[in-house]
Amino acid sequence: MMRGVIACILCCATLHGPAAELVCAGGNEVFVIDTDGDASRKLWRWSGEDAADLPVEARREFNHLDECKPLENGAKLLVYASNGGCALIERATNRLLWRARARNAHSLALLPHDRIVAASSLSGDHLEVFNLSGSAVPVFKTPLHSAHGLVWDEKRQCLWALGFDELRAYTLEAWDSEQPVLKLKSSHPLPDMDGHDLRPVPDTNNLIITTEKTVQLFDRESASFKPHALLGKEAGIKSVDVHPVTGRIVISSWGPAIRLLEPSGTIHFESARPYKVRWLR
């Protein structure tokens, strides 16, 4: 058994049907566990410290991993670290499909035409667009104070980006060219400062936003905020994610445990401290 997870205490029923796997990012590793099985066993892990195709001089860039986003039903993962490392990893082989560096990286999102946007947080304070093929030099930059969250909205054909005190929407301009542009479409002041996590609620118009003191829902049709019914008054939450089939919620506050709601549960870790946790779709 791999070290890191010591116990899983799940109250009420566990998930059935679709795989109930979670991908967790924190410290120097990304790993996957199963909430519907033995959550003390890591089903998969990746660390920059021992990645075979990561140059030794670049390994430090993947310390302090702060996020992982599943793509293609978990076949690939976007990972990034506050030390600047950004990568696209093929889960079956642990192979790096793309790598770049963004100062204090806190989010990535895959955009059309094989481009990736990175949120460079404090001390960077901008969004950077990269091509998946070619060099790791950004092809576009635009300022955003304390950039922290990114969501590509396929239905509305826009990028949502979360900053310190605002939520922005960008459209893609000149996207077929070698000089693509993120064009600011709208900006929405946050109800509370220090925007942190940004995630869509599956099959709804809502985005979940965590801030320093609250958890909000943003309706993309009415452009309005309201407190989350279950988490609205909770402070210090680093990530919230909703299962696309069951609606179960997973919450991380960057500690030795993560919480589950609907049904309730807690997963305790021995040494890992997940910063963000996502359902492995």
For 241-262, how does the pLDDT look when each residue is reduced to its tens digit (9 = 90+)?
Answer: 999 999 999 999 999 999 999 9
- 5-279 placed in CATH 2.130.10.10: yes
Q: Does position 3 have pLDDT exceeding 50, yes or no?
A: no
The C-alpha angle with vertex 69 and arms to 4 and 153, in degrees rounded to 5, equals: 155
pLDDT at 8: 38
The CB density around residue 95, as the number of other CB atoms within 10 Å, is 13
Stretch 200-207: mean pLDDT, rounded? 98
pLDDT at 50: 93
Tens digits of per-residue pLDDT, 207-246? 999 999 999 999 999 999 999 999 999 999 999 999 999 9
Stretch 114-119: mean pLDDT, rounded? 97
The per-residue b/e assignment along 76-92, b for 16 or more CB within 10 angstroms, e otherwise, is bbbbbbbbbbbbbbebe
Model confidence pTM above 0.85: yes
pLDDT at 19: 62
pLDDT at 226: 98
Q: Does position 275 have pLDDT exceeding 80, yes or no?
A: yes
Query: Where along the chain do its domains lie?
Result: 5-279
Give 90-96's long-range contacts (Cβ < 8 A, gap of 24+): 91/44, 94/46, 94/51, 94/52, 95/53, 96/51, 96/53, 96/54
Q: Does position 205 have pLDDT exceeding 70, yes or no?
A: yes
CA distances from 102 to 113, 207, 237 (A): 20, 25, 23
Residue 38: band (very low, low, confident or very high) from pLDDT cuts 50, 70, 90: confident
Stretch 34-38: mean pLDDT, rounded? 86
pLDDT at 37: 79
Tens digits of per-residue pLDDT, 64-78? 999 999 999 999 999
Stretch 34-52: mean pLDDT, rounded? 90
Residue 84: band (very low, low, confident or very high) from pLDDT cuts 50, 70, 90: very high
